[in-house]
Structure 1
């Protein structure tokens, strides 16, 4: 009887997988697998899609790392990682979803991040300079208004929105993921909504360390890792975090992170250059099709992220009911279908 049940389970799984695969095939573009991996229109086959792109800055020329996955002249997504100072590794889950939908995408380590040059001049860690860097990357990769989708998550969402305010004529679509458009609003949500959800004794101890600015204390970090991260950053036990996420955190550049984000893991504080960033009153200037992604358990207020979609001229909201700040891992069921649908709807010219 046990053998029969096991065989039946295998058959059910096989049928289920077959059905899912058929649905994937139906969902893909008219590109064949061969066409999607066609290297003829690219000059990066020798390096497996990797390009080191020269970037001109006020402090000289440096190089940033990018890597292309796939080939589709109509749908190309440039991924802006968070941090600041994190890496492209946080997006490795995208490889499980976008290629089978025929969507070309680019990993990209911003200047200062792991695979790119890491100059020591702190004046380079400036939002406006990063905007100009993204524009130089766009030009080098040959992205334009007919195919260019810009995806930014967390700090990448700040960078993506700021880029759109200046260069949206080069965009086909914008995706702002897990980021509000005001750091003061983010801090308020952290202080008034998320902090009270912690056990009172844990919150008290965290705030004591923050008052002393003892951010490197192992006890402080362990409290954040044990009580805050698994609820609002990635809803998994830290011991079960994917290898790509662990590598991302191992490779953070603290100079970039602390300069722009500050030393606290509980908001943006101190002399962080992003502390007063707020473009809420400018969102109405963004006319390019825009997807805002929010999550129920995020460090950011999901209601604010829904509001973003109503404030831009042509917006859509994607809610991840089971997700947190890294919804591409803890709510893939909603994150990827919604992201893919947006890209394809914009490509087909369908109303949001």
Structure 2
């Protein structure tokens, strides 16, 4: 694959700054693609693969670390009242304006990034020309119910370990973390060992899990943070941008979790990756990237 140039920078945001990287050139006539990571509280690293779309079709691909994460300003002392959906919507608008692409762009959000993107898209921003929702819930209660259904399919000893530590409040115990990993290896990333960029995101989160802890909770199936009652199901009909939904056959974002997008977003197209869980962009990378690229080309 041809090497593509990249550049990094910071967008001032309130009293902080948002780190971003542009792969390719913003002067291309292709729609620039903004890629938003999940979590909330992950980093751009695990969705790094999407930068290769720049080499596939010549569009600029913009990654960024959301406030509190990765290379952006870390705020470990901020509590739940600070970390809101509105904060991250404002940050996204600020980044679009900083880059000068607010009038014409595509957006891909993975997991929480797709939730954030949906909150953005229901406002019908004029510049959003194409929208990709990757492995995202539309209702956190459904997400938790399905995660716990999948959890009940884990080996009995793993389930017992998880429950014991949750009841005791010892969720940082190595045994609890190891038991959680059994779920993650089935339903988050099935590539073993995890690709370096995926492992890097989780290592950074181990250092500073402020955002994830406040908004989500300790694990994917023990959601006790501020997003626990979040839903966008009743607003999805407002989305006007052409929309592609992707998910994996073994995804923690099960068909029940993602179906509201299919049912309620006008014209939403849904592609399921048969050999993937929550990260088709690394589990079936070539097919995933070409699927996204082919979708975006329709709107260049």
TM-score between the two structures when normalised by the length of structure 1: 0.79
Q: Which residue of 2 aligns with 1:323?
A: 276
Indicate conservation of the 8 Å contact 2:281/2:288, yes or no: yes
Identify the residue that residue 122 of structure 2 maps to in structure 1: 165
**Deviation, structure 1 residue 306:** 4.3
Q: Shift of residue 78 of structure 1?
A: 0.8
Q: Which residue of 2 aligns with 1:64?
A: 18
The answer to whether residue 168 in structure 2 is matched with residue 212 in structure 1 is yes
Measured in 2, the distance between the counterparts of 1:144 and 1:258 equals 31
243-252 vs 201-210, which deviates more? 201-210
Q: 1:54 aligns with which of 12, 31, 35?
A: 12
Structure 1 outlier segments of 4+, above 6 Å: none
User: What runs of 5+ residues in structure 2 fail to find an aligned partner?
Assistant: none
- Indicate conservation of the 8 Å contact 1:77/1:151, yes or no: yes
* Alpha-carbon distance between aligned partners in 1 of 2:218 and 2:48, rounded to the nearest angstrom: 26
Aligned residue pairs total 294
Native 8 Å contact 1:290 1:309 kept in 2: no
Residue in structure 2 matching 1:92, options 18, 42, 48: 48
Cα displacement string for residues 36-61 of structure 1 (whole angstroms, at most 9, x for unaligned residues): 86xxxxxxxxxx521210112xxxx1
Q: For the Cα contact (< 8 Å) 1:98–1:340, is it kept in 2?
A: no
Alignment of 1:177-188 (within 5 A): 177-188=134-145
Instruction: Give 1:334 shift.
Output: 3.1
In the alignment, the residues of structure 1 paired with residue 253 and residue 42 of structure 2 have an alpha-carbon distance, to the nearest angstrom, of: 18
Runs (5+) with no aligned partner, structure 1: 1-20, 22-32, 38-47, 348-352
- SS of equivalent to 2:151: helix
Provide, for residues 105-158 of structure 1, a one-character-per-residue CA deviation record: whole Å limited to 9, x for no partner.
11101111121111232233111111111011111111134x311111111111
Give the aligned CA root-mean-square deviation in angstroms: 1.9
Q: Indicate the structure with greater helix content.
A: 1
| Aligned equivalent of 1:4 | none
- Superposition deviation, residue 311 in structure 1: 1.3
Contact 1:233-1:326 at 8 Å conserved across structures: yes
Aligned residue for 1:172, secondary structure, equals strand
**Taking structure 2 as the reference length, what is the TM-score of the superposition?**
0.92
Structure-to-structure mapping, 1:237-256, within 5 angstroms: 237=192, 240-252=193-205, 253-256=208-211
Mapped contact 2:112–2:136 kept (Cα < 8 A): yes
* Partner residue, 2:98: 140
Distance 1:168 1:314, change over 3 A: farther
Counterpart-to-counterpart distance in 2, 1:144 and 1:318: 27
- Whole-Å separation in 2 of the counterparts to 1:264 and 1:74: 38
SS of the residue corresponding to residue 54 of structure 1 reads strand
Report the Cα offset of residue 279 of structure 1: 0.9
Query: Of residues 279, 290, 295 in structure 2, which corresponds to 1:337?
Result: 290
